[in-house]
Structure 1
Amino acid sequence: MVLLPVLCLTVCCVLFLHLLHWRRSVTKAAKYLPPSPPKLPLIGNLHQLGHLPHRSLHDMSNKYGPIMLLQLGNVPTLVISSADMAAEVLKTQDHIFSSRPGLKGT
């Protein structure tokens, strides 16, 4: 009889500590990311693209700057809307941005 409340309390404490650690790591990583518009949990920023995505991206770049991070579904996407920033990424920093994630199948 006494074991069940102790077990529930232990599980709640472990989950709380895990959530606290996860939240600290997310906020620490977020300060190095470019600005991004607010997103929804499952679809990210797909709801903000609308019928004319190029105009929506232009409006967002006017609001958030020439480089921004969009979450398109499950995929984080870096959007660059300035020629100077594109030259910086594609020429100067190409060794950082040219890598691809490893596939799980290989």
Structure 2
Amino acid sequence: FPQSRMIPQGLLIVLLMNCSAEASVDFYSSRVFDEFDFNGQSSVTIDGLCKETCKIYASITPESKKFASNLLIEMPGRFVSIADVAAKIDPATNKKWPLVVI
């Protein structure tokens, strides 16, 4: 490759570190997380999104089901796994049912 087309090694390392560091995407009233956002975390607190009610949707692959089973959402008096949320599907419409947090 000509030298003008090569990415400097320092920049490449920074880009790779940035890609592996955080995968969440913020919107006006929602946030999308990737399983890599939770790697190495014993707990994650999400503040500022659920002022009154939250609807949590989840999609997982068969390969990530075990990992998603260990990601728990604290609800009043119980915990719900991301795998359980991902499995909630309306049989009539085949659309995802959210976990509603009040």
Choose between structure 1 and 2: higher helix proportion: 1
**TM-score (normalizing by structure 2):** 0.26
**TM-score (normalizing by structure 1):** 0.25
Choose between structure 1 and 2: higher strand proportion: 2
Work out which of the two has the higher radius of gyration on C-alpha atoms and give 1 or 2. 1
